[in-house]
Amino acid sequence: MQTQACQDLDRAHHLHPFTDFKALGEQGSRVITHAQGVYVHDSEGHRILDGMAGLWCVNLGYGRRELVEAAAVQMTELPYYNTFFNTTHPPVARLAEKLCALAPPHINHVFFTGSGSEANDTVLRMVRRYWALKGKPEKQWIIGRENGYHGSTVAGMSLGGMAPMHDQGGPCVPGITHVRQPYWFGEGQDQSPEAFGRACAAALEEKILELGEDKVAAFIAEPVQGAGGAIMPPASYWPAVKAVLAKYDILLIADEVICGFGRLGAWFGSQHFGLAPDLMPIAKGLSSGYLPIGGVLVGDRVADTLIEEGGEFCHGFTYSGHPTCAAVALKNLELLEAEAIVERVRDDLGPYLAELWAELGDHPLVGEARSLGLMGALELIDPATEERFDKALSAGNLCRDICFATGLVMRSVGDTMIIAPPLVITRDEIDELVCLARQALNETARRLADQRVAAPTDALHSEETRA
């Protein structure tokens, strides 16, 4: 199909997620046709290094025949059956066992969903059910974080702290509130990172006391905020939060949808930070995005209560534990393990990226360059003032579009540029990624200096910067 024909169909009938429909209609979508390894290809013949692993999910990279074959074998044998009404099947039972073997030792059960958002709907219900069964139904409040992301269903967006989402389609689910995020570059520079981390934990404690300590059920957070801007908390943050939660007997939900399956150089972000969460929503890297599957890893404290005292748990999805998705996820985990990919991120690729990425911190447009494992962020600043750019300049979007035209997918969150490449990326490909990022920064600086008011759509179609 020609680019134009595909764009016309798309424009006529397709409403894209998180998109200004009208603006995209005028501009036309980039058509991605195929992919291999860490590269995606578009319909115009461009090869683009996928610095975002799709949407933080293609951990094993593109084109893995083993995953295709696992799907084909399972689809031939049993393409679908549900897990309601006391039925199961081998792939889901094996996947459940494998996940529990990889998770921290106090986690021995998993509830399957079709996505990360559904996983967070599930934790909301589990947490409230748990406290009701414990004879404390008044423990209802769930505390999330401003600028946290937990999905786009009504429960997911309510647990998340994205104000633009709350403004559309509200009101949010009652009994959910948010505290400040541990975003030192954006909100904490008047203190040392360590003092700021402790201040954020103190804000959580204040919120608990304000709501009433016997009324708070759980705290939900990503170990490292992903969609909010790849925000790595100061080292003091998680130990201080853990102490607060223990003091008031509040459950911890660590949303592992992005951090899980090797992104930070551990199977789960919680292991990197030494957390022992009661619940861990998962998705994305669970199947390397090849098929949609998510779930909740449930710690013994909650699982034992639901099992022993709960009776029927009135919740589930048609695709909970879908056999083909489960077979692909299982094969994905086996490959991550057999190829020691998580260890490679921890011992080799993560430190290698960190070294090169930090050098981008010297670029005049960059106020901070940070990374952990294979996740990184650049904070764009105006070299003239060393402050953020005027929002009207949309510097982040301009840089993102220039990146695309340069041959690199780098995402923008406001003026924060983020990467999370496939975990199978090689050192040479990391060299290329960092080199493309620098070229794109140079071009962004030039365009901003020349124009001060840039039009992102011009950059999207610009070929002048293609490497």
Binding residues (CB under 6 A) for ligand PLP: these are: 115-117, 120, 149-151, 156, 222, 226-227, 255, 257-258, 283, 294
Structure tokens at 405: 């035209």
Question: What is the C-alpha to C-alpha distance for residues 293 and 116, in angstroms, rounded to an integer?
Answer: 8
In the complex with ligand PLP, the residue whose CB is nearer, 115 or 465, is 115
Query: In angstroms, what is the minimal distance from the CB of 449 to ligand PLP?
Result: 34
Query: In angstroms, what is the minimal distance from the CB of 216 to ligand PLP?
Result: 21
Q: How many CB atoms lie within 10 A of CB 223?
A: 27
Backbone angles phi, psi at 8, to 5 degrees: -65, -45
In the complex with ligand PLP, the residue whose CB is nearer, 255 or 432, is 255
Query: In angstroms, what is the minimal distance from the CB of 226 to ligand PLP?
Result: 5
Question: What is the C-alpha to C-alpha distance for residues 341 and 140, in angstroms, rounded to an integer?
Answer: 40
Any bridge partners for residue 378, and if so which? Answer: 369, 417
Query: In angstroms, what is the minimal distance from the CB of 282 to ligand PLP?
Result: 9
In the complex with ligand PLP, the residue whose CB is nearer, 222 or 382, is 222
Query: In angstroms, what is the minimal distance from the CB of 255 to ligand PLP?
Result: 4
Nearest to 373 by CA among 409, 348, 336, 410: 348
Query: In angstroms, what is the minimal distance from the CB of 258 to ligand PLP?
Result: 5
Nearest to 125 by CA among 320, 315, 321, 317: 315
Nearest to 177 by CA among 188, 190, 161, 153: 161
Question: What is the C-alpha to C-alpha distance for residues 144 and 176, in angstroms, rounded to an integer?
Answer: 7
In the complex with ligand PLP, the residue whose CB is nearer, 258 or 298, is 258
Question: What is the C-alpha to C-alpha distance for residues 416 and 229, in angstroms, rounded to an integer?
Answer: 6
In the complex with ligand PLP, the residue whose CB is nearer, 254 or 395, is 254
Helix (H, G, I), strand (E, B) or coil at 39: strand
Q: To which H or E segment does residue 360 belong?
A: none
Q: To which H or E segment does residue 47 belong?
A: strand 47-50
In the complex with ligand PLP, the residue whose CB is nearer, 123 or 251, is 123
Residue nearest to ligand PLP (CB): 116
Q: Which amino acid is at 256?
A: E
Which strand ranges, in their side-by-side order, compose the sheet holding 411-413? 366-372, 375-380, 416-419, 411-413
In the complex with ligand PLP, the residue whose CB is nearer, 141 or 149, is 149
Query: In angstroms, what is the minimal distance from the CB of 295 to ligand PLP?
Result: 11
Query: In angstroms, what is the minimal distance from the CB of 223 to ligand PLP?
Result: 9
Q: To which H or E segment does residue 172 belong?
A: none
In the complex with ligand PLP, the residue whose CB is nearer, 116 or 188, is 116
